Amino acid sequence: MSTERKSTRTRSTIIDAALRLFRVRGYDATTMRAIAAEAGVSVGNAYYYFESKEQLIQAFYDRAQVEHAEASRPVLDSERDLAARIVGVVEAWVRTMDPYRPFAGKFFKNAAEPTSPLSPLSPESGPARAMAMELWHEVLEGSDFRIPRRLRPALPELLWLYHMAIVLFWVHDPTPDLSATRNLVAHSAPLVVRAIGLTRLPVVRGMLDDIVTLIGDLRQVFQATENDETAIGDEDTR
């Protein structure tokens, strides 16, 4: 086995061990020492791959995005209808994340904290968020739906925010087979597509400009925060 393959396998083993312990003990009560023991590696080796639990979770985010993109391939390669593509991609996410659902409730209280690096809106989550945006960009560009030109740059972010709302519902879905989540997606996706289509109407164009401006403002906030975090990191290394 090559060194690179062994390293990748060790990283994955540590992530899986952490997720098992988070599910049983909760995020806050799980230590890196316990994660190392569960993974069958030394504490030093665990810290070699992940400097903190937060960094470990970011690696999980990245892996989950890759798995989600792979699971979305069948619908993206075969379906052109935009609503069907949205439903298929969210359904692929539900299937991909199903093994981690018992852990999701305990983890969510940490990820929902706005200042937490585990938040999907945090600077630390930037790489995973960028991968998600790229997937939603592909959802749009591969469809046969005529997307208003002014809305096109902002739409992947709007669909990602829609997906985040579905994720919140999924965390709290009381149905054992997740039928409530699936029904929500099946009924809301056509409404999302219809709302996009309405932006072509003259009476809605002013609202469209407001939406584009709002997305631009939000993007600047996140970029400024990420730049501040980078500057602080650079100061710490001097």
74-116 per-position pLDDT tens digit: 999 999 999 999 999 999 999 999 888 877 777 777 777 778 8
Residue type (1 letter), 200: R
- Average pLDDT for residues 186-205, to the nearest whole number? 85
Statement: residue 188 has pLDDT above 90: yes
Q: How far apart are CA 93 and CA 171, in angstroms?
A: 13
Q: What is the pLDDT of residue 175?
A: 93
Residue 35 burial class via C-beta count within 10 angstroms: exposed 0-12, middle 13-18, buried 19 and up: buried
Statement: residue 122 has pLDDT above 90: no
Q: Which of 58, 75, 52, 200 is nearest to 142 (CA)?
A: 75
Q: How far is CA 21 from CA 9, 55, 127, 230, 231, in A?
A: 19, 16, 25, 31, 34
Statement: residue 1 has pLDDT above 70: no
Q: How far apart are CA 136 and CA 141, in angstroms?
A: 9
Look at the block and give the residue holding tokens 């739409």. Answer: 155
Statement: residue 227 has pLDDT above 60: no
- Give start-end residues of each CATH 1.10.10.60 domain in the chain: 1-51
- Give start-end residues of each CATH 1.10.357.10 domain in the chain: 57-236
Q: How far apart are CA 126 and CA 148, in angstroms?
A: 27
The mean pLDDT of the chain is 85
DSSP 8-class letter at 98: G
User: CA quadruple 134, 185, 79, 69: dihedral positive or negative?
Assistant: positive
Q: Which of 64, 145, 134, 117 is nearest to 229 (CA)?
A: 117
Q: What is the pLDDT of residue 199?
A: 78
Quick one: 57-236 is in which CATH superfamily? Tetracycline Repressor, domain 2 (1.10.357.10)
Class at the top of the CATH hierarchy for domain 1-51: mainly alpha
- Is the model more confident about 227 or about 150? 150
Q: What is the pLDDT of residue 151?
A: 81
Give this prediction's pTM.
Answer: 0.82
pLDDT in tens, 37-46: 999 999 999 9
